[in-house]
Amino acid sequence: MTKKKDPGRGSYTRKLTSKQLQTDVLLLFKKDPKKRLNPKQIVKKLGIDNHKDSIQHACQELVKLGYLVELEEYKFKLRSPGSSSSLGQNRKVLVGVMDMTRSGAGYVSVEGQENDIFVAAKNMNTALHGDKVQIKAWVPRGRNKPEGEVVEVLERAREHFVGTLWIYPRYAVVVTDPPSSLEILVDPTKTMGGKDEDRVVVKIENWTTGQQRQPIGVLTYVLGKAGSHDIEMKGILINNGFNLEFPPEVLEESESLGVAIPEVEIAIRRDMRETPTFTIDPENARDFDDALSFAYLPNGNLEVGVHIADVTHYVHENTALDKEALARSTSVYLVDRVCPMLPEKLSNELCSLRPHEDKLTFSAVFTFDNEDKIVDRWFGKTAIHSNRRFSYEEAQEGLDTGEGDFAKELKILNNLAHKLRKERFKRGAINFESEEVRFRLDENGAPLEVYTKERKDAHMLIEDFMLLANKEVATFVSNKGTQDAAEIPFVYRIHDEPNTDKVEELARFARQMGVEMNVTTPKDIARSFNKLAQLAEENEALSILGPIAIRTMAKAEYSSDNIGHYGLAFDFYSHFTSPIRRYSDVLAHRILFDNLKAIHRVNKEKLEEMCKHVSKQERRAADAERESIKYKQVEFMSKHLGEVFPGFISGIGDRGIFIELRGNRCEGMVSYETMNEPFEIDPGRLRIRGAHSKKEYTMGQEIFVRIASTNLQRRQIEMVWVEGEA
């Protein structure tokens, strides 16, 4: 790729992916091993258009891999050959995260290390699934894959475990749920009234000595007999590391917060209580953390305010409330409940932007000219008064009919949102739209209906203005640091480019389903992903390509090192708009506020540690939410045993084929054992072929299945192929 100046931009137009960037940076240093370069110098020498933050990130990744050494003043140099980071035959101490298997062994993933490191059960040294561990690693002679042993458990993933209690005459044991599947010894005289086969919560306090070390714990909660909706949902939360209740000191602190807003507080803020303002949220929402305001200025320009609950006014650094919010890092939304990040006094009362109440907010206010271009931006603390609370359905009705409260304003904002969206896709954003699985539950939490909900303009209107605020806040902080010639550490929401090998595999798969994809460049990939989404709307069978496409993507995460957000096509992006339910936004509010008038830099190393923790908690919350959906889907299908449903082949495994049912997205498996002939599996797992009939069945093909059995504990639905009905 040649270097070329773009006169309109005054910069190089060559932009490298993160992997290409690491390669080119390393080659640059190897050409002149004595050179000491900072990111700005690297940009100039490589003639590329990557932001210096992405260069900084690439260099730090090369430091972790052992190729570079970090120096003062943001400079780097090539590591001398004598200090290579290669494992070789020597044992090396590394830090990573344990992924435990059912056998008791595990694999440790180390950042910057291509291969996970296998740890045999005898070398686990009390490490459990998800723990941060220090290991000694080596490559055994005659092998090419590393092995290791745990030296020390640095950080436990969680303290509490859900399991089944078994009581014996001289001891009791709690057998925990997978993937850990531990047997934890407990005192049989201290079972809190629990009985055999009760579901309980246990906390590990110690380990036995000797070669086969066994955990010793104490019961903290007796959930009751297995099987109830409530117990299973609580178990999902606890097993993913979320506490069901807030500590007493946190509740005490939240209850002590005053409800009334002093006039002196409003006096030091921008008073926007007279500006027409409304919220749009789900019908059953109770925490309204964002609102929109709408006003025409004397010069005819339109002022749109994005108002966010001012959580940091109430939650101060290093208080019990703040520490608990950081520990949780996120609210968890299961099918039938919310496990909140903040106590109810804050999330549903003080910080919830309820209608007809004065509220304290942190706002991003944008001025649009008569051509719908943003001509001014303002960030700061405000006071607002919401005039109307809309559900998404009510707002959509206003958009559809043009009648009702704020119908005109909704229409204008929706037009602006469409333009913001169009511009985003023009820049290369990816459409991640997918049908959301929803449930209608009875008063006991049992599912009466499973359906998919279509996202309409009312949903996307809010989303587009939140994206705008998040992007502009991140851009403001980054630019302010650039003006001061030094970075202001900030919480960025980053998203790397997709894995090239995985994308090419997806393209081959899509081609066999009749869809051509151009995966030449990152922008081509984005366009192809959007094409897949469009085709899936026309042909439901192609919707299986959506989840596969998402799996080719890097996961979005939080970091103080900005590399941009590939999926949204934003150079700078953060999370600012949901501080009631995301701690990342709390951090963003604090840093933004401290830098509105002056320059203030937090400790970047400490901030990065918090970013990693918040990202980890976000992944746990997503796992819990998926588990609850799967549980409720299986529970729903248990009422439809023997019934026949249309579906399509969504996966091909060693034991059978996976079928996703039309309409409710419930997935189950048809075992090969129940089919009328043996089948050969295509190497690419895209089709199966009958050994006798030679008939082929491909991914996405529609078939009919009968629901044979369900297993709530394993979250499994067994199906039988009903031939002749497809």
| Interval 626-648: pLDDT, tens | 999 999 999 999 999 999 999 99
137-151, 231-245, 466-480, 538-552: lowest mean pLDDT where?
A: 538-552
Judgement on whether residues 327 and 372 belong to the same structural domain of the protein:
yes
Number of domains, the chain: 6
The CA-atom distances, in angstroms, between 706 and each of 649, 668, 696, 719 are 14, 10, 21, 6
d(CA 362, CA 379): 8
Judgement on whether residues 192 and 316 belong to the same structural domain of the protein:
no
Instruction: Please list the residues that pair with 281 across neighbouring strands.
Output: 391
Q: Is 690 helix (H, G, I), strand (E, B) or coil?
A: strand
- Boundary residue ending a domain (635, 666, 681): 635
- CB-based contacts of 257: which residues, under 8 Å, 6+ apart? 314, 345, 346, 350
Judgement on whether residues 292 and 416 belong to the same structural domain of the protein:
yes
Q: Terminal CA-to-CA distance of the chain, rounded, Å?
A: 51
Whether residue 104 lies inside any domain: the answer is yes
Judgement on whether residues 146 and 192 belong to the same structural domain of the protein:
no
Q: How confident is the model at residue 486 (pLDDT cuts 50, 70, 90)?
A: confident
Whether residue 433 lies inside any domain: the answer is no
Region 569-596: mean pLDDT is: 97
pLDDT at 138: 86
pLDDT, tens digit, for every residue of 1-34?
Answer: 334 444 333 445 578 887 788 888 988 888 887 7
Judgement on whether residues 194 and 131 belong to the same structural domain of the protein:
no
Q: How confident is the model at residue 145 (pLDDT cuts 50, 70, 90)?
A: confident
How many CB atoms within 10 Å of residue 105? 14
pLDDT at 3: 40
- Boundary residue ending a domain (635, 651, 683): 635
Q: Does the CA dihedral 67-496-339-180 come out positive or negative?
A: negative
> Alpha helices, DSSP H only, in 32-89?
39-46, 52-64
Residue with the bigger pLDDT between 71 and 219: it is 219
pLDDT, tens digit, for every residue of 551-564?
Answer: 788 899 999 999 99
Whether residue 256 lies inside any domain: the answer is yes
Q: Is 396 helix (H, G, I), strand (E, B) or coil?
A: helix
Whether residue 405 lies inside any domain: the answer is yes
User: What backbone phi and psi angles, to 5 degrees, belong to 677?
Assistant: -160, 160
Q: In the structure encoding, which two tokens stand for residue 302, read together? A: 């339109």
Q: Is 416 helix (H, G, I), strand (E, B) or coil?
A: helix
Whether residue 652 lies inside any domain: the answer is yes
Question: Which structural domain, as residue segments, surrounds residue 216?
Answer: 160-226
CB 566 within 8 A of CB 495: yes
pLDDT at 88: 45
The distance of Cα 571 from the centroid of its chain, to the nearest Å, equals 19
pLDDT at 351: 97
Q: In the structure encoding, which two tokens stand for residue 128, read together? A: 């459990």
d(CA 479, CA 464): 22
Peptide bond into 247 cis (omega under 30): no
Q: Which residue has the tokens 């009702």?
A: 404
CB 384 within 8 A of CB 271: no
Phi-psi region of 326 (alpha: psi -120 to 50; beta: other; left: phi over 0): alpha
Q: Does the CA dihedral 182-186-188-194 come out positive or negative?
A: negative
Phi-psi region of 611 (alpha: psi -120 to 50; beta: other; left: phi over 0): alpha
Judgement on whether residues 187 and 216 belong to the same structural domain of the protein:
yes
Percent of the chain that is helix, strand, coil (3-state, to 5): 30, 30, 40
Q: For the chain, count helices (H), then strands (E).
A: 16, 35
Highest mean pLDDT among 125-134, 577-586, 675-684: 577-586
Q: In the structure encoding, which two tokens stand for residue 527, read together? A: 């366009």
Q: Is 313 helix (H, G, I), strand (E, B) or coil?
A: helix
Whether residue 562 lies inside any domain: the answer is yes
What percent of the chain clears pLDDT 70, i.e. is strictly above it? 94
Judgement on whether residues 370 and 397 belong to the same structural domain of the protein:
yes
Judgement on whether residues 478 and 575 belong to the same structural domain of the protein:
yes
d(CA 131, CA 139): 23
Judgement on whether residues 531 and 627 belong to the same structural domain of the protein:
yes
278-287, 356-365, 373-382: lowest mean pLDDT where?
A: 278-287
Judgement on whether residues 410 and 284 belong to the same structural domain of the protein:
yes
Instruction: Please list the residues that pair with 43 across neighbouring strands.
Output: none
User: What backbone phi and psi angles, to 5 degrees, belong to 303?
Assistant: -110, 120
Q: In the structure encoding, which two tokens stand for residue 446, read together? A: 């049992």
Q: Is 684 helix (H, G, I), strand (E, B) or coil?
A: coil
pLDDT, tens digit, for every residue of 676-699?
Answer: 899 999 877 778 999 999 999 888
The CA-atom distances, in angstroms, between 363 and each of 173, 297, 306, 666 are 53, 18, 6, 41
pLDDT at 154: 93
pLDDT at 12: 57
Judgement on whether residues 684 and 626 belong to the same structural domain of the protein:
no
Quote the strand ranges of 482-536, DSSP E: 492-494
Q: In the structure encoding, which two tokens stand for residue 455, read together? A: 């996202």
Whether residue 427 lies inside any domain: the answer is no
- Boundary residue ending a domain (616, 635, 654): 635
pLDDT at 80: 66
pLDDT, tens digit, for every residue of 78-106?
Answer: 876 544 344 444 567 889 999 888 778 89
CB 272 within 8 A of CB 293: yes
682: domain CATH number is 2.40.50.140
For the chain, the average pLDDT equals: 89
Q: In the structure encoding, which two tokens stand for residue 321, read together? A: 């409330």
Judgement on whether residues 489 and 375 belong to the same structural domain of the protein:
no
Count of residues in the chain: 726
pLDDT at 13: 59
CB 345 within 8 A of CB 257: yes
pLDDT at 59: 86
Q: Does the CA dihedral 692-694-697-698 come out positive or negative?
A: positive
Q: Kindly give the pairing relationship between strand 667-671 and strand 716-721.
A: parallel
Q: Which residue has the tokens 């949902």?
A: 233
Which H or E element spans position 109?
strand 106-109
Whether residue 234 lies inside any domain: the answer is no
Q: Which residue has the tokens 């910069």?
A: 11
